[in-house]
């Protein structure tokens, strides 16, 4: 693959412009107001797969947003890599915190991205990262060095729980048949510290509603005598953690896999500086479960975070009102072997149980996902490790990630193959945040590294 | 005053239509988007005072919204009644809970208002109630039975703390010189249970901001390791009450006047049915400070209520984000002899003190107000009591109200006269809530009762 660098050099402006065009489409799956844009993004992805050289492409309808499929079959006897990604993005709000409009991509230099980064919602999560694969495959096809078969499965509901994907996988086992699943929807430690994600946390996401009086009330006439749903929701939320920041839901930790001292020691070898971490986030101190380090807290430990809360008067000035209702969105990150449905049920039972008599409580489950851990002794992981070593000149560090790709565990269950998580973004790329961005160096480095995965994977697979 | 009933009968349609026109003006002082409407309301009030027969009217500029002044001097040697009210209204949101638009008044019958009630923001608080005085004075002037002098001071900032009024009172002591101040901005127990408000709670209102990380974060990558400002704000709010629902701010209760068993026994005589109360609000149980009855909790006890809370993602669907900031609006109702500035300071000190190291906390004071208690042995109270007895055929019950009119205590301090609170609304009239309304019977009964106050007050004052 000597000429991969030249190919990238010769085409990098086009690679950037194509991604920028894709980023201009506000494909926000969480907000129905943008449903046409989500569809438009699917169409754009199919077009890109065709242009990259896939000989079959298809927009596959589901009960939700479509899955874009594409494939290039070199020889049915050769191994097949299935690339997964998603073309939908997170909502951009709070809008006022964006330095430039989220769907008008701009390139700016940052300390961590001296060659510039593309600022736009979805730049890193996940449009920029799955598009690396489209361009890497384009290179291998055009330069006739694609060593095996490749299939693409790019969905449009990842940010809202991939509700339609399980049925899609079930119905299309043959079409999706593969030997290994390759995903770039995670990050790496630093541009000079390549890492491969070997684990992902699961997710349970609920929305709660607390109702006090049947209407908003004057806080003078009623204050002190009626259940205030905001005060009570705050009390209920506060009670979900104990003084050691452990979650108080009965049974919550029952199935949590405790790592051995050896595994924890191994984890501790990954470079991490808590002072830099605090400085980067401008926080006076880290915060979390007693007895665990910061990297452990965000990777091997389960969590409970309120992602949104609202109730009463939130406008300008002062309004002396007691609200009728208060709401919160609460998510729990899960680790092996917690089961999202079971945890969601435990949460619901507990949250109902702690509600005082004066209020009515509703809990509505949103999406969930199983945690996942990749064994590092399989040839997929080894091929990825060799690829990183080739292009970075360093051994990649195996790392447990804190995020969730709810569908990953299902892939293994239904498609019966291992998942390799080759992420090229950085934690500081602000995914899910205002000013999300993706380093141009990272984008091109991904395009350069991916073909080596195909090369080494095919070699290892065919040797067997 | 034999012909007061006839006058009302002959003019009641006009009385209603004039009020309806005033209610159509969205004079929301809390929201700068409506500032022109607030000014328009002031002009409408001046016009109404002129038409009622005041020989002087004036729109008095202040640093904020103007105060509308009007007077009718019968004889400088006679006593002078100063009528206070406000032409500004509370914000109407949540709009979706209104059965009809808040600024398009409609008349509907209710169980408590079989003769119909006017539904509109400000119907009861306070446009409908101060307008009773305008019409009562119109009657006395037109029928030539006004027994004393009258002055009107109708402001436009009551719902946002009357910030400009203290300076206005200071500058206009002569112009506002009076013997008694008459206000209808409170309620009565029931249409067949007239009551006179003898006390009001004070108010301290603050807005708090809790900042965790310097930007919104992905809850997977960071969840469990950083201070989540929403979780922490919830914890801080929850800690403001103990297990007996007593407020935990050090020194908060130090100056609270404890009522004697006799006074509490007297209060307990006012008709109150806790089952009806729970049923009317559709709450499973009442909620409040241990050791006190519901009427005590909303009148003679101080409170702390969150009036609004917001932070993170509050849109449709699910967003796995850790917010950078969380906010709450918190008000405390105060009783004699608590001082709002002192309580605000105690709150700020305590709230800062309980903030964990990981977050930054800001507390911004909004408006405050002193609690107030009227002695029932003064001639103003006696005149009011005789007026109610005349038109209701019953003795009015002296009642401590839970609400606040922050400026009332200042009136006594600066203008050196007693305040008489003759309210004709009902607690169920939903002031500060969607579907605020004011009974037509109450509106007309007020217009009928007020002239008797002037009659008896003048008699008692001139006898002295």
Which residues of A are less than 8 Å from B404 in CB distance?
220, 320
Residue B2, pLDDT score = 66
A interface mutation test: which of B64, B90, B307, B316 has the most A CBs within 10 A?
B307
Residue A161, pLDDT score = 83
- The CATH code of domain A4-200+371-463 reads 3.40.630.10
Percentage of chain B beyond pLDDT 90 is 85
Residue A381, pLDDT score = 95
Please tell me whether residue A408 adopts helix, strand or coil conformation.
Answer: helix
pLDDT digits (tens, 9 = 90+) for A153-206: 999 999 988 999 999 999 999 999 999 999 999 999 899 989 999 989 999 999
Residue A221 has pLDDT above 90, yes or no: no
Residue A464, pLDDT score = 64
CB contact under 8 Å between B287 and A311, yes or no, is no
Residues in Cβ contact with A110 at an 8 Å cutoff, skipping those fewer than 6 apart: A117, A437
* Nearest CA among A412, A408, A423, A420 for reference residue A383: A420
Residue A9 has pLDDT above 90, yes or no: yes
Closest CA–CA distance from residue B101 to any residue of chain A (Å): 16
Q: What pTM was estimated for this model as a whole?
A: 0.81
Question: Are A161 and A368 spatial neighbours (Cβ–Cβ below 8 Å)?
Answer: yes
If you search the block for the tokens 């541009």, which residue do you land on?
A: A191
Of B187, B281, B324, which is closest to A214 when you measure between CB atoms? B281
Q: Establish how many alpha carbons lie within 13 A of residue A414's alpha carbon, considering only the half-sphere containing its beta carbon.
A: 17
- Write down the domain spans for chain B: 4-200+371-463, 204-256+302-369
Which residues of B are less than 8 Å from A219 in CB distance?
303, 305, 307, 331, 333, 432
Instruction: Specify the CATH class of A204-256+302-369 in words.
Output: alpha beta
Task: State mean pLDDT over A145-160.
Answer: 96
Residue B387, pLDDT score = 98
Strand A180-183, strand A418-421: pairing: parallel
What tokens appear for A4 in the block? 């991969």
Q: Establish how many alpha carbons lie within 13 A of residue B295's alpha carbon, considering only the half-sphere containing its beta carbon.
A: 17
CB contact under 8 Å between B298 and A225, yes or no, is yes
Task: State mean pLDDT over A67-83.
Answer: 98
Q: Helix count (H) and strand count (E) of chain B? A: 13, 20
Distance, CA of B161 to chain centre? 10
Q: Helix count (H) and strand count (E) of chain A? A: 13, 20
In sign, the C-alpha dihedral spanning A333, A336, A339, A343 is negative
Closest CA–CA distance from residue A359 to any residue of chain B (Å): 6
Closest CA–CA distance from residue A202 to any residue of chain B (Å): 9
CB contact under 8 Å between A230 and B329, yes or no, is no
CB contact under 8 Å between A309 and B160, yes or no, is no
Please tell me whether residue B4 adopts helix, strand or coil conformation.
Answer: helix
pLDDT band at B189 (very low <50, low <70, confident <90, very high): confident
Residue A133 has pLDDT above 90, yes or no: yes
B interface mutation test: which of A156, A208, A222, A289 has the most B CBs within 10 A?
A222
Taking phi first (over 0 means left), then psi (-120 to 50 degrees means alpha), and beta for anything else, what does residue A297 get?
alpha
pLDDT band at B231 (very low <50, low <70, confident <90, very high): very high
pLDDT digits (tens, 9 = 90+) for B420-442: 999 999 988 999 899 999 999 99
B interface mutation test: which of A224, A292, A366, A369 has the most B CBs within 10 A?
A224
Of B287, B310, B322, which is closest to A314 when you measure between CB atoms? B310
pLDDT digits (tens, 9 = 90+) for B116-168: 999 999 999 999 999 999 999 999 999 999 999 999 999 999 998 899 999 99
Of A212, A305, A312, which is closest to B231 when you measure between CB atoms? A305
Which residues of A are less than 8 Å from B310 in CB distance?
309-311, 314
What tokens appear for A337 in the block? 């072997």
pLDDT digits (tens, 9 = 90+) for B284-326: 999 999 999 999 999 999 999 999 999 999 988 888 899 999 9
CB contact under 8 Å between A316 and B32, yes or no, is yes
CB contact under 8 Å between B309 and A313, yes or no, is no
C-alpha gyration radius of chain A: 23
Q: Degrees (nearest 5) of the Cα angle B425, B430, B434? A: 145
H helix intervals, B151-257: 165-171, 219-222, 229-238
pLDDT digits (tens, 9 = 90+) for A291-331: 999 999 999 999 999 999 999 999 888 888 999 999 999 99
CB contact under 8 Å between B432 and A309, yes or no, is no
Return the number of other C-beta atoms located less than 10 Å from residue A399's C-beta: 23
Residue A369, pLDDT score = 85
If you search the block for the tokens 């009964």, which residue do you land on?
A: B445
């Amino acid at each position: 693959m000597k000429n991969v660098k030249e190919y990238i050099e010769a085409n990098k402006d086009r690679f950037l412009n194509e991604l920028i065009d894709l980023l201009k489409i506000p494909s926000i799956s969480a907000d129905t107001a943008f449903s046409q844009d989500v569809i438009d993004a699917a169409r754009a992805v199919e077009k890109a797969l065709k242009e990259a050289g896939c000989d079959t492409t298809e927009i596959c309808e589901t009960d939700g947003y479509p899955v874009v499929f594409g494939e290039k079959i070199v020889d049915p006897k050769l191994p097949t890599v299935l690339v997964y990604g998603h073309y939908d993005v997170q909502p951009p709000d709070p809008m006022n915190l964006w330095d430039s409009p989220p769907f008008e991509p701009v390139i700016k230099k940052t300390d961590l991205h001296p060659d510039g980064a593309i600022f736009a919602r979805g730049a890193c999560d996940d449009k920029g990262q799955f598009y690396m694969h489209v361009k890497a495959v384009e290179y291998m096809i055009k330069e006739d060095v694609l060593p095996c078969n490749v299939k693409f499965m790019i969905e449009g509901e990842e940010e809202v729980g991939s509700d339609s994907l399980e049925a899609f996988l079930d119905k299309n086992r043959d079409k999706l048949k593969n030997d290994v699943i390759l995903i770039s929807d995670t990050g790496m430690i630093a541009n000079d510290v390549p890492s491969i994600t070997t684990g992902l946390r699961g997710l349970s996401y609920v929305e709660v509603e607390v109702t006090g009086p049947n209407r908003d009330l004057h806080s003078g006439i009623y204050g002190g005598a009626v259940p205030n749903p905001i005060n009570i929701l705050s009390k209920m939320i506060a009670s979900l953690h104990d003084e050691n920041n452990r979650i108080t839901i009965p049974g919550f930790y029952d199935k949590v896999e405790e790592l051995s001292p050896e595994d924890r020691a191994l984890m501790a070898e990954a470079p991490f500086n808590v002072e830099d971490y605090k400085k980067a986030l401008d926080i006076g101190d880290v915060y979390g479960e007693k007895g665990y380090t910061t990297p452990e807290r965000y990777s091997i430990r389960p969590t409970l975070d309120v992602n949104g809360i609202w109730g009463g008067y939130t406008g300008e000035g002062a309004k002396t009102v007691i609200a009728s209702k208060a709401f919160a969105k609460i998510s729990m990150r899960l680790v092996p072997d917690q089961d999202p449905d079971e945890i969601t049920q435990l949460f619901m039972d507990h949250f109902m149980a702690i509600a005082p008599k004066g209020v009515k409580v509703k809990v509505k489950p949103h999406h969930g996902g199983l945690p996942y851990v990749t064994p590092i002794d399989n040839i997929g992981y080894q091929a990825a490790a060799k690829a990183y070593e080739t292009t970075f000149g360093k051994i990649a560090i195996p790392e447990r990630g804190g995020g969730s790709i709810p569908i990953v565990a299902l892939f293994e269950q239904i498609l019966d193959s291992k998942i390799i998580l080759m992420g090229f973004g950085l934690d500081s790329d602000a995914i899910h945040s205002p000013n999300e961005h993706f380093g141009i160096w990272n984008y091109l480095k991904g395009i350069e590294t991916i073909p080596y995965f195909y090369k080494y994977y095919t070699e290892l697979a065919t040797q067997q």
